[in-house]
Structure 1
């Protein structure tokens, strides 16, 4: 099913630019707007990455190798439930 939208209060200069752009591409203004919207949404979908990649991108500039590591502590012995 195809949907339609109405764009109100569109600046006349923008409308004229769309008309000229569509004419250059040999398509209707409506088709031009559809293509622009599809490309804008597709660009956002490409940017969706998994959580691990997002974390990696955020901290990629840090020199993680130079961060001090706290000393390891001795782990405690697990409880022995067999003893009375």
Structure 2
């Protein structure tokens, strides 16, 4: 797993990170990881099932025809593919 070093972080920013981490009940490192992941994660990502459902509606499928797909769609996210 990659590691990142942040240089020249001000004392004020470091203290604020420590306080924020304590408020969330985690380490400063875990807090920084969460902040970075939230900053680069797409906020309005269209999921494949939603996109396919919209395509079906545009193609003229009725709600009754789309219902089996909605019923089969899982609610839990799939695990990312591993290439190792």
Higher relative contact order (CA 8 A, sep 6+): 2
TM-score w.r.t. length of structure 2: 0.50
TM-score w.r.t. length of structure 1: 0.50
